[in-house]
A = this chain, B = another copy of it.
Amino acid sequence: MSLNDLDDEVAALLDDADQRYTSSRRRLISALQAGDGPLTITQIVATDASLPQSTVYRNLTILEEAGVVTRIVTSDDFARYELAEKLTGHHHHLICTACGDVVDFSLDAAVEATLDKALDGAAVSAGFTADSHRLDLLGTCRDCAKA
């Protein structure tokens, strides 16, 4: 998805949610788009100092409700946000248990298909209605392995 298409799609989603696409929200989208994985509030504020913390919190919540971003919770005390899969495509996360950093990765379509089929079976037999799956790899990133 090109930058302009992304922008158009975000605008449409916000419009559907009766929300304006303000300059704070544009800056947030831009910050998230620049990262190679979900970002913490601290990381966002560090990236764009013109964004006050309270505005970041409030607007990320609104963007999440509008389906523009997704909130990711790992094991550390900091929530992370990324653009919704609707905008970036389905993918997974490498989570470093040493430094907390999270980066994206993808699996090939065949593996995803196998997985979806197996998960669908499990959901059905538990009377569970599945919306999506979440698959993370936990371990140590290159930087932390070096140190």
Name A residues whose Cβ lies closer than 8 Å to a Cβ of B. 71, 73-75, 92, 94, 96-97, 103, 105-108, 111, 114-115, 118-119, 122-123, 126-142, 145
Complex CA distance for A107 and B116, rounded to whole angstroms: 11
Partner of A128, one of B74, B114, B119, B137: B137
How many copies of this protein are present in the complex? Answer: 2
Complex CA distance for A99 and B85, rounded to whole angstroms: 23
Partner of A140, one of B115, B129, B136: B129
Chain B residues whose C-beta falls within 8 Å of the C-beta of A129 in the assembled complex: 139-140, 145
Complex CA distance for A96 and B131, rounded to whole angstroms: 10
Chain B residues whose C-beta falls within 8 Å of the C-beta of A122 in the assembled complex: 92, 94, 105-107, 137
